[in-house]
Amino acid sequence: MKKVLLPLFLLILAIACGQDTYTIKGSIENPEALPEDAKVYVSDRTDPQLPVIDSAVIENGSFTLKGKADPEKMYNIYVGYPDHSVGDPRWATSFIPEKGSYDIILRERLSTVSGGKINEALNEFKESIQEITDDFRKKVADFGDDEEEKAQALYDETMEKMNELSRQTIKKNANNYISLIALQNIIYDIDLEDLENILDHCGSFVKENDRIKRIHDCKVAEEATSEGKAFVDFSGKTPEGADVKLSDFVGKGKWVLADFWASWCGPCMREIPNIKKTHETLSGDKFTVLGIAVWETNGDNTKSADRMKEKEMTWPQIFVGDDKTPTDVYGIVGIPTMILFAPDGTICKRGEDLRGEKMMETVRDIINQ
């Protein structure tokens, strides 16, 4: 019996181990365009360092790769050779290392992954997103310049479709990497309660993702500094280099419109004319504008100072270099962000009503109540 059972046990063990592996049968389109020493590499996309975890030799335009399956990860697969950039989109794609066998064709454009239940579901999700996007672009192209309201309504309708598609995709793929992709598609548009409810139904790898944790923490901070809450102080420098705090301006008996901006931020620069108009029209005993320059790429405030002079931003400024404290405590994940503080330091208003042409009208209505 032992002579029969031992090989049977080993066979069962081998089958069990095989169930936790993936096999890629790959091919290269136009391999003659590649150097002779080109190889196929696999890197772990879920690791910020993008470590190479496997490689394969290309033989007659084909390659084979085998590895440990882990549907909670996403891998990059690409053709590499000397002087080749890892970020080069040619002959490259991504795949979820689910167990089983599937085919990957690496092309100069539009590489494909086929086979595998999870990877096919990912393809379907991407195709659905593309269909919704293409439909929006086709319809909005027919609108005239005077149909802004119709365009906005179409945009809102499109975002609702994106949101619903992403939610359904998360439900169906809560325990694989697709849920993380779909969640990142809507995470900025949902509130804290909604996000936490989604996370409760996802695998722990989603909750522990660094980007998801950061945005979750930002939403917690945003709720703690929502309308009606007291301001949270932070420190920085004046353009001249002196120490300054938010509390030197906020809670001192004036309405304060704070603009969180950065020197390299295009939307921030496009908002300057609206801020300048609001400042020149309303500033006085009751109201002031305050700029808060954040996310400096070199951290020494010089780029903020140069941009302030270039754009003739004559209102007070707090420069914080690369210190993320101000945006962390106010839950800011995108700039420009405007916050209107009441004379006693209470947060009165934040959000889209303080952007664009709405800015001055919104501020004027509030401070003149």
Dihedral, 134, 137, 138, 140 alpha carbons, nearest 10? 150
Question: Does the domain at residues 235-367 carry the CATH identifier 3.30.830.10?
Answer: no
Residue 87: the pLDDT is 76
Q: Is the pTM of this model over 0.85?
A: no
Dihedral sign computed on CA atoms, order 346, 352, 357, 361: negative
Judge if 17-114 and 235-367 fold alike in CATH terms. no
CB contact burial 193-220 (16+ within 10 A = b; e otherwise)? eebeebbeebbebbeebeebeebbebbe
17-114: what fold? Answer: Immunoglobulin-like (2.60.40)
Q: What is the pLDDT of residue 144?
A: 84
**What is residue 19's predicted lDDT score, i.e. its pLDDT?**
59
Q: Which own/partner contact pairs does 304-311 have at CB distance under 8 Å and 24+ positions apart? A: 304/239, 304/262, 304/263, 305/239, 306/263, 307/263, 307/269, 308/239, 311/269, 311/272
The parts of the chain modelled with pLDDT lower than 50 are 1-6, 10-18
Q: Which of 366, 277, 347 is nearest to 315 (CA)?
A: 277
Please compute Rg for the chain using Cα positions.
27
Q: Identify the pLDDT of residue 7.
A: 56
What pLDDT does 8 receive? 53
* Domain residue ranges of the chain, discontinuous segments joined by +: 17-114, 118-224, 235-367
Percent of the chain with pLDDT over 70: 95
